Amino acid sequence: MPSGCRPRRKPAGAIRRRCCPSRALMRQNPMIGPSPRWIRISTTKWGSGWSRPTGLKRTVGGIPLREFTSLWNGSRPWIINRNRKGLLFFMNFNDYSDDIVFGFNTRTGGVSTGVYDSMNLSLTLPDDPEDVMKNYEIWCRDLGVRMQDLVIGLQTHTNNVVRVDERNKGQGLFRTRMKDVDGMVTNVPGVALVTYHADCTPVYLYDPVKKAIGMVHAGWRGTVKEIAGAAVRKLQTEFGTEPADLVAMIGPCISKEYFECDRDVVDAVRAMNIPAEEMISYDTVKNKYHVSIAGVNRLVLEAAGVPGDHIDMQDRCTYGNPSLFFSHRRDGLKRGGHCALLMLR
C-alpha cells in the first residue's frame, strides 16, 4: 500500500493511533477521515508491514512505540527516528527519500562535554573545535553526507535568501562563511544546505517537480520579516518553482508555551502581511505575551502559495525537551547548537 494511504478496515493486529485529527482538519484534508487511522511501522521507513501490539516496552529504531503512535501533525503521520548518533529524521518526507537527504540533530550522540554535551554543532560557541569537528564527522557520516559538501552561512536574523551551488561547498567548516545569510536555495545535487538553530525555526522546502530545495533559519525577527515567503519567491525566480508544488516542513523549535515576549514582538507580528492574531495569546498573571513562531511561519508559507496540506509541523519543543535539544531561551550561551540539513541526491 502506498505511503500515506489509510485502509478502509483495520488490518489484523494493527495498532490504533492514540489521537485523531480535529473536525476542522478533516474538512481541510479529505484524506483524513472521521474513523481512526492506523499506522505501519518499521525501523527504517514505511512499508515493511503492519506493526503488531507487543506491549508498551516495544521499541522501533530505539524509541518506545508509544512515542511513535502519539505524534500527529494534522495531515499525515510525522515520525521522529532518533538513533544512537543523535539524528532526528522526518519520516513524512519518506516519499522523497530517493531524491533528498534531510535531518536535524538532537543533542545526543556526540563527543562534546559540559554544557555542550554532546552533539554540539555550533561554530560560534567556545566549545573545543576538535570536538565540534568530530561531531560533524559523526553526524555527516550517519546522514551519508560529506563534510566538504556542507554550505553554512553566517546567520544574522535577516530575510536574506541566496542561491548557492557547487562553488559554495565547504563554506562554514573549511572556508569563510557568507555573511548575513539566513536562507539558501539550490538545484544542484550534492550541495548540502545547513542552518543553525537553538530555538529558532527551521523551514525545509522541496520542489519535486523542478528538483530544487530551500533551507531557512527563521528566528522571530526573520519570521516577522517573512523569510519563509522570501525563500518561496527565490525558488520561483531562480528555478521556476510553482508554490503549489512545494512540500514544506517546519522542524523542532520553541513552542508557543515557552516563547514569552513583550509587546514589541507582538506589534511586529501584527504588522505582517498576514492575519496572525490567532498565533498570539496573553498571560494576565505574568503580563507577558506568547507567540507561536512555528504557526506564524506556516501562515507565511500559505500566503506565499504553499498548500496547507503540503506543510508538516513537528511538535517537539526545543525549550521543553532538555534531554533532546539545546535551547538559547532556556540556557543562554551555556548550551550547544543544532543544525538542519537538506540536500538533493
CATH of residue 213's domain is 3.60.140.10
Q: Which residues constitute the domain of residue 4?
A: 1-77
Mean pLDDT of 106-126: 95
Q: Give 122-167 pLDDT, tens digit per residue.
A: 999 999 999 999 999 999 999 999 999 999 999 999 999 999 999 9
Of 24, 44, 77, which one is at a domain's C-terminal end?
77
Q: Give 70-93 pLDDT, tens digit per residue.
A: 222 222 333 333 333 444 545 456
Of 15, 50, 77, which one is at a domain's C-terminal end?
77
Mean pLDDT of 200-224: 98
Same-domain status, 54 and 191: no
**In this predicted structure, what is the pLDDT of residue 90?**
54
Tell me which residue of 91, 124, 128, 92 sits closest to 110, measured CA to CA.
Answer: 128
Same-domain status, 306 and 220: yes
Longest dimension (CA), the chain: 57
**In this predicted structure, what is the pLDDT of residue 52?**
30
In angstroms, the CA 231 to CA 160 distance is: 9
Pairing of strands 59-60, 63-64: antiparallel
Of 77, 108, 141, which one is at a domain's C-terminal end?
77
User: pTM to 2 decimals?
Assistant: 0.77
The mean predicted confidence, pLDDT, of the chain is: 79
Same-domain status, 92 and 71: no
In angstroms, the CA 51 to CA 338 distance is: 32
The grid cell for 96 is 522523497
**In this predicted structure, what is the pLDDT of residue 59?**
37
Share of the chain above pLDDT 70, in %: 73
Same-domain status, 52 and 142: no
Same-domain status, 70 and 165: no
> How many domains in the chain?
2
Instruction: Please give the residue that has the higher pLDDT: either 34 or 239.
Output: 239
